[in-house]
């Protein structure tokens, strides 16, 4: 099986990945797509075309069923103000990223595997296993403070690692739950081994969503097909939450998500738009807000800037939802297509936050 490790990048592709990585390495902030695009415009290069030419494995759609050098699969997923980010796989392509990010990431992952291996188990209770930044600093004192600060964000965007709930603490430290997913990486000792293992997991997940084999061959391409809009694992977690002592009745939200998934896989943009709008109107009370406009404006997300940006993007989708639901028939009715539907990761990010609140 070929993986991203086997890919030979063009000079333009390497330049794009470097342009995305450098602001993050300098400031800890991922660049906005509009800035990257402008930089490449000045070079007479099409940043979107170069971005879309980057190899990926798996199928486009659910978070855990695709992987590439970048987090988003298509440049069309970006609004002008959206931030663009890389994955750990980009350490293979960007000079200096391996030493500052790739190797420290593997060391931190091995520490998480050790935590899971040595966790204490009791017959009557299984407490959550927590990775804390202060304890990571003590266990791996050679890790740079900058890397420890950005590690939760890195973990949140690697498709095969689920770190459960997490929180930032007022003094700048943080904690994240370590789940069984890290055990898949118990034999990983290098950046290449991590990327190969992630490719293996993602390819297996993708095979459950597509009838055709999804094993990537050189050159790598995205396997056609549209998977569920709401991540099936997330939907399962919402259904489990409905069976707990939460004060919120979850049956309507789950039914809306199931309807959204069916419409998205069928390629019905009008039903998708209606279902997304219905979900956005339904969930604000869980966030302590009267409507979704206030969720996007006032709620403090765990991953503040990234997930808040997703919520704000969903709020801008409201006029399209209004058009679908309320525009009467007439001689001139605009056509809504699947291109008008927000990228799935945006609603999934908001629903992940909702799950934390439950």
Q: Is the pLDDT of residue 18 over 50?
A: yes
Indicate the pLDDT class of residue 345, thresholds 50, 70 and 90.
confident
Going from the C-alpha of 330 to that of each of 71, 272, 318, 333, the distances in angstroms are 41, 22, 21, 6
- Which pLDDT score, from 0 to 100, does residue 70 have? 93
Q: Which of 129, 130, 148 is nearest to 140 (CA)?
A: 148
Indicate the pLDDT class of residue 48, thresholds 50, 70 and 90.
very high
pLDDT tens digit sequence for 101-134: 999 999 999 999 999 998 877 656 667 788 999 9
Could you tell me if 306 and 83 are in contact, meaning their C-beta atoms sit under 8 angstroms apart?
Answer: yes
Q: Is the pLDDT of residue 172 over 90?
A: no
pLDDT tens digit sequence for 185-210: 999 999 999 999 999 988 888 887 65
pLDDT tens digit sequence for 207-222: 876 554 444 445 544 4
- Where b means 16+ CB within 10 Å and e means fewer, 156-195 reads bbbbbbbbbebeeeeeebbbbebbebbeebeebeebbebb
Indicate the pLDDT class of residue 254, thresholds 50, 70 and 90.
very high
* For the chain, percent of residues with pLDDT exceeding 70: 88
* Token code pair at residue 324: 């679908």
The pTM of the full predicted model, rounded to 2 decimals, is 0.58
Instruction: Please give the average per-residue pLDDT across 29-34, as a whole number.
Output: 93
């Amino acid at each position: 099986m070929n993986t991203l490790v086997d890919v030979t990048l063009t000079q333009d592709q390497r330049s794009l990945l470097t342009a995305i990585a450098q602001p993050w390495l300098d400031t800890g902030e991922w660049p906005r797509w509009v800035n990257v695009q402008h930089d490449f415009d000045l070079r007479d290069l099409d940043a979107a075309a170069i971005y879309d030419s980057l190899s990926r494995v798996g199928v486009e759609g659910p978070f855990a069923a695709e992987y590439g050098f970048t987090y988003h699969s298509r440049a069309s997923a970006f609004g002008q103000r959206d931030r663009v980010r890389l994955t750990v796989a980009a350490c293979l392509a960007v000079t200096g990223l391996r030493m500052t990010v790739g190797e420290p990431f593997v060391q931190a992952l091995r520490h998480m595997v050790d935590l899971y291996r040595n966790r204490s188990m009791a017959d009557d209770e299984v407490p959550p296993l927590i990775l804390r930044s202060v304890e990571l600093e003590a266990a791996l004192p050679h890790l740079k403070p900058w890397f420890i600060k950005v590690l939760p964000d890195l973990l949140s965007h690697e498709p095969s690692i689920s770190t459960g709930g997490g929180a930032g603490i007022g003094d700048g430290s943080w904690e994240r739950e370590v789940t069984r997913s890290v055990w898949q990486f118990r034999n990983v000792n290098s950046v290449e081994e991590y990327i190969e293992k992630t490719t293996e997991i993602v390819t297996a997940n993708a095979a459950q969503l597509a009838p055709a084999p999804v094993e990537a061959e050189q050159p790598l391409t995205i396997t056609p097909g549209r998977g569920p809009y709401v991540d099936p694992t997330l939907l399962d977690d919402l259904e489990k939450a409905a069976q707990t002592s939460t004060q919120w009745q979850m049956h309507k939200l789950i039914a809306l998500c199931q309807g959204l998934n069916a419409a998205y896989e069928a390629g019905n943009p009008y039903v998708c738009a209606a279902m997304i709008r219905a979900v956005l109107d339904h969930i604000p009370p869980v966030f302590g807000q009267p409507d979704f406009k206030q969720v996007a404006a006032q709620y403090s997300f765990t991953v503040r800037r990234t997930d808040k940006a997703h919520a704000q993007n969903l709020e801008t989708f409201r006029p399209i939802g209004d058009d679908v639901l309320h525009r009467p028939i007439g001689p001139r009715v605009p056509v809504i297509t699947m291109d008008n539907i927000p990228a799935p990761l945006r609603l999934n990010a908001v629903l992940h936050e909702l799950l934390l609140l439950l």
